[in-house]
Amino acid sequence: MTQSRQSSATGSTVDAGARVATILLVDDEPHVTEALKRAFRREPYEFLTAASGLDAQRILERHHVDVVVSDEQMPGLSGSQFLSWARQRFPHTIRMILSGQASLEAAVRAINEGEVYRFFLKPCNPTDLMVTIRQALATKRLEEQSRRLLHEYQRQAALLAKVNQSAPELLRVNTDELGAVVIDEADGEGDLADLLAEMELAMKRS
């Protein structure tokens, strides 16, 4: 198995708190992956490379990968077969494919089986690929943020439902004749303390 890891933050300003995106380049011709790494040397990415679909499978099982760029025609697993496997095992990894032959059949297979984000023809323009990777990563970050927000909303909704079931008086709002909210500090003081403690514990677990 051929594998290399390269930090490519030279010339770019990267938020120290942000995780650097990892790009996996898969091609049985090493000069192709090396040329792409040189073209992306100023991009804030880390690179992994594989010379076959089987090598790439092993890398994906050991490393977190944000984007996979794979050649189509390789010995053993084709690019579309490898990306189809990657889609099933690592559905949130962005998948792109390079092909030296403008075959409609290959493009349809890659789209249907691997659900590729973009299909490129060789020789690929590195600038086009670089821009596409940037766009794909921006989309991926938005999707991840949406999933986190949805998870947080569901967690809080479940917590409120639990509170409403066990102590509905805590969520009941009393108002005076002018419509102002009236809070009786004596009522439910112990339940409120328990609720705050439970919410704090839930936040620590999240």
Distance CA 52, CA 33 (A): 12
**For residue 17, pLDDT beyond 50:** no
Which among 16, 5, 7 is positioned nearest to 45, based on CA atoms? 7
Give the three-state DSSP class for 167. coil
Span 102-108, average pLDDT: 65
Peptide bond into 75 cis (omega under 30): no
Residue 197: Cβ-neighbour burial (10 angstroms; 0-12, 13-18, 19+): exposed
Q: Where is average pLDDT lowest: 21-30, 61-70, 99-108, 133-142?
A: 99-108
* Phi, psi values for residue 120, rounded to 5°: -110, 145
Instruction: Tell me the C-alpha to C-alpha distance, in Å, between residue 120 and each of 126, 157, 195, 201.
Output: 10, 44, 55, 49
Question: Which uninterrupted H or E stretch holds 160?
Answer: helix 126-166
Q: Which residue has the higher pLDDT, 21 or 4?
A: 21
Pairing of strands 21-26, 67-71: parallel
* Phi, psi values for residue 33, rounded to 5°: -65, -35
Among 94-103, 160-169, 180-189, name the most confident range. 94-103
59-88 pLDDT tens trace: 999 999 999 999 988 888 888 899 999 999
pLDDT of residue 157: 75
Distance CA 177, CA 182 (A): 10
Q: What angle do CA 141, 143, 146 make, to 5 degrees?
A: 110
Q: Are 1 and 55 in contact, with CB atoms under 8 Å apart?
A: yes
129-175 pLDDT tens trace: 999 999 999 988 887 787 778 877 877 777 777 766 766 655 565 66
